[in-house]
Structure 1
């Protein structure tokens, strides 16, 4: 059993939210950032991003929309990284026997048996515990080591030429000092990693390339790009073997948090991993044989997901023709990120016939990969449904009505503009595909 204690269900969102209550308590009761944080937490619970059951437990689980948003982020990250030639995907076990790893999976029953023995000496108890810990498996705190271990096999794949990279996504346990001191707990996060092997003479250029690439990627999908920034890691905070480090930060309401970290690691950790086969790690750099330098890129996906949720949350005010003020809460996630692209609703007309049309469109959209919400199953008013869809981040609402049965015309509402347009049913699928594709390539 792996021990975890958390302050709230929000802890699953990386290392920033375990301190959520303490951080936002520093704000005054009228602080806009506090209101924004509370609004987002409520929205995520009510709109299927977080499982509502999680509030009664010590951990948090994602709901359907949270799961899909996280998947979209990982897919887009992987696509961007793999767009370079000679980047290969790998997968390693989360459990390992690496002595340096600080986390351990222990059997609670075995520990209880050790502690419940009659009249054991302190020395005997200590020896039994040490033996039990030695035999237990460690849990990884990053994906770097797995890529370093697969280096030699991958080197043969590229005919011992540089550069190339190994990419992976998986669960890790991060033991943050602040977190440990505040609540004595660990944090399970999803990490995406690129380990880039390059010539020593070009490592600084490659580091600059990846730093620029990563910041540009985060800003590409942001509603407010300026909230994403870079900072250099100070010499006192450099990890083992690193000569340079850069962080991609997001400015949360309570302060900046690290989303992604890039390290220039030289050859130290690679040689340490392959001590007995140091000759085999060498590869060609022109006519020379060299040991490559390593650049490590790692992103906390859970915290990145939280950053995009905060970044996309908007409260919009509008005065109608009668001077009545209306307020609208919208989750303006980028079209490539938003979990639901379209919601299907029914208007006036034969309920059974309209529902058949909706079910046909639902199947048609799903077959081409357009995530669709079956709103026609909901009995709420159209106004309440639009409020719900805006808070879910749904891009388009498609209304099927009696006119659809007669003329094939649909009413399509845009999330960002709230403008409703008529469109023929034969055109809607092509329109949605083009819109989503254009937004991803913009």
Structure 2
């Protein structure tokens, strides 16, 4: 029997260890007694609690799914696996390679590593000019590879780099560093995609994120970098940058897939593709079920409903199970700020179906008041609350969108592009208002 192990650390505290039996293909988890006893401790996920009843063990596949959800996807995962000489299904090897800087609070280090006194090489600074050069070289050089080392450890399919960022007293970037120990990243930077089918995605996401913030919703802070090519810089909400020490505290978050103990392949409700009878992935009712783990349930339900309605407003058809996250406490979850907000309707080449159905429809054109009410019934939402929130959002949307498109930091063709998104949102607001009004014609008994 060959058992491989990784030590799990949270900032300066040893959390425990994860084991992988390569012969039996089984995963194990053991929390350190000191971590369990600490008042500041929290579990990897609610499905992997700090304490188990006598005779219970942690599920092997639950551990694997939690870790696999930390890995990048698509071509980036292919590049990372190839660079490390392993198969992309080799979760242990990939976490071993990338686990020192992942999403959330935990670092996954070699079992004999000292998480308190790691080697401190000279900081590897990154300039805006170097970022620009790396972005331009993506067609022939994997973006995840820096100085011969793979740096990509953030889930998702888009190219991105995690950086530690310092600013001067005026708020301008004064220094950017790759997050080798003792540095932890504070920001993510995403360039424009290489695909011509996705023009101005940086401006699109910046606009949608800023639009949500303008409406008073909790979102990650974003800004556009000019390298001179545009790139989106996102302030990480799972990091707390402390001044004047400049120490960065890692905060723990998990996405809906991890909270539901589902694999990354289940992030879409139709996880089996066009096999209509199989809808085993993350759905809106499953998403709302996670609120059972949140103490302030009424407030959390309202927050999640507002997120759902906002996706309708901007037609973010790709809002899936990894696009909603939760902050993790010792015995509870809290809703995390919003992220990855994009008007997908601006790109006709992409799927124009919702990642999660409203009632029984994935198509916006078939989202009738009946199906809207069906969504409310399935998620145990009072139709009066859904109607009120949808109407309020629709009323505020148009003016805010047009003002942002006019006053935002958009240049040249970007400005015309986001003005088109604002015009689209205005039409969506009218549609959403009508949907809300007609929702009053439905009754919960219609869906029994």
On whether the aligned pair clears a TM of 0.5, the verdict is no
TM-score, normalising length from structure 2? 0.25
Larger strand proportion, structure 1 or 2? 1
TM-score w.r.t. length of structure 1: 0.25
Please state which structure has a larger fraction of its residues in helix. Answer: 1
